[in-house]
Homo-oligomer: A and B are copies of this chain.
């Protein structure tokens, strides 16, 4: 189907840019990651993941003029994603941090992503959040090679990567379901354009979050004071 081909092509090109330009991916590629960077990134992952189930459910709460099957999908999908932030937190803790650190607030770039996802869930075309799901459920295709490289460099066990490993399994099924929902329910040009727009913007903002995480890591490495200081405990 031509529409999905166009989405996939655009994703391919956006991911290629992110992978080639985001310093986080560059660092992995060039064997320059350490546990601090992985931990910092997983804390941002914790933050946006905490909100994902909620903004997904919000679509169902506010959309009356949609097929009940789509509303049901929103709630079921939200139920499945609930609590996944705890996997991210587990993986951070597994690096050897004392149990009781205070989770720093999200970085501005992470908060912007979170804000955007609530906004497009709470307003506008009720189908549009599927644009986020469309790439998010397919993300592992792009990132798992880098997750594996990072695992090797840091000498992590599979049970220290629960977030990524669990998701790469779960999300294959989700991806097919998301595509099917789009095919069935995003019936108008306006729907499809809204899905494409949110796909693009939410991936762009995720790329910005990667940049933000690396900048925060730079400050941490340089010894600047900040909410991430406690990660200095990780060698």
Considering the chains assembled together, what is the distance between the CA atoms of A128 and B101 in angstroms?
A: 25
A23 within 8 A of B: no
- Let me know if A108 and B201 touch, CB within 8 A: yes
A40 within 8 A of B: no
Chain B binder among A10-18, A25-33, A74-82: A74-82
Scoring A residues 180 to 207 as 1 if CB is less than 8 Å from chain B, else 0, what string do you get?
0000000000000000010011001100
With a CB–CB cut-off of 8 A, which chain B residues contact A108? 197, 200-201, 204
Considering the chains assembled together, what is the distance between the CA atoms of A30 and B112 in angstroms?
A: 33
A75 to chain B, nearest CB (A): 4
Chain B CB count within 10 A is highest, among A58, A69, A78, A86, for A78
- Let me know if A86 and B57 touch, CB within 8 A: no
With a CB–CB cut-off of 8 A, which chain B residues contact A116? 111-112, 115-116
Interface size on A, residues (CB 8 A): 35
A60's contact among B82, B120, B205, by CB below 8 Å, is which?
B82
A104 within 8 A of B: no
Q: How many of these chains are in the complex?
A: 4
Closest B residue to A73 using CB positions: B79
- Let me know if A75 and B82 touch, CB within 8 A: yes
A219 within 8 A of B: no
A106 to chain B, nearest CB (A): 10
Within 8 A of B (CB), among A168-226: 197, 200-201, 204-205
User: Known interface pairs A61-B61, A79-B79, A204-B108. Does A68 touch B54 (Cβ–Cβ under 8 Å)?
Assistant: no
Closest B residue to A112 using CB positions: B116
A199 to chain B, nearest CB (A): 11
- Let me know if A79 and B68 touch, CB within 8 A: no
Within 8 A of B (CB), among A35-92: 50, 53-55, 57-58, 60-62, 64, 68-69, 71-72, 75-76, 78-79, 82-83, 86
